[in-house]
Amino acid sequence: MTITTTTHLNFRGDAREALAFYRSVFGGDLATVTYADAHAVIDPAEADQIMWGQVTSDAGFRVMAYDVPSRTRHEPGVLPVFVSVRGTDADELRGHWDRLAEGATVQVPLAEARWSPLYGMLTDRFGVTWVLDVEVAWNA
């Protein structure tokens, strides 16, 4: 299995615009999944906001972003970045999770999600927030 680490930016309703801007700067492909696409709508007003978005270029540029839902605290500049670790081997990701979880605060337990066979979020003992998931191709 190979893994990648990607800067994951957090916005409140501006993720689509930000990703489009980064694509205009760095080129590449833009992929987005809305809360509606993932069948994860809690607030209907946020259904078309970005639950997962990514720009990738052939030159190696890669950035992810999402719109923090209104039910979740969001203070721009306070928690603007996640480190995203994506891979194809669930067992290997579980191993990384188990080691990162030592002394960490689990935000979302590692488990199946509507959009991934395995997803979890934790803040490690150093205050860094990590998102680990099994990568799934989206045709959205």
3-state SS record for the chain: CCCEEEEEEEECCCHHHHHHHHHHHHCCEEEEEECCCCCCCCCHHHCCCEEEEEEECCCCCEEEEEECCCCCCCCCCCCCEEEEEEECCHHHHHHHHHHHCCCCEEEEEEEEECCEEEEEEEECCCCCEEEEEECCCCCC
Tell me the chain's radius of gyration from C-alpha atoms.
15
pLDDT at 140: 53
Check residue 13 and give its pLDDT.
93
- Residue 126: the pLDDT is 66
- The confidence score (pLDDT) of residue 59 equals 74
pLDDT, residue 112, reads 93
Per-block mean pLDDT, blocks of 10 residues, the chain (140 long):
80 92 87 94 96 89 90 78 84 90 94 91 83 79
Q: What integer pLDDT is reported at residue 76 of this predicted model?
A: 74
* pLDDT at residue number 83: 82
Rounded to two decimals, the pTM is: 0.67
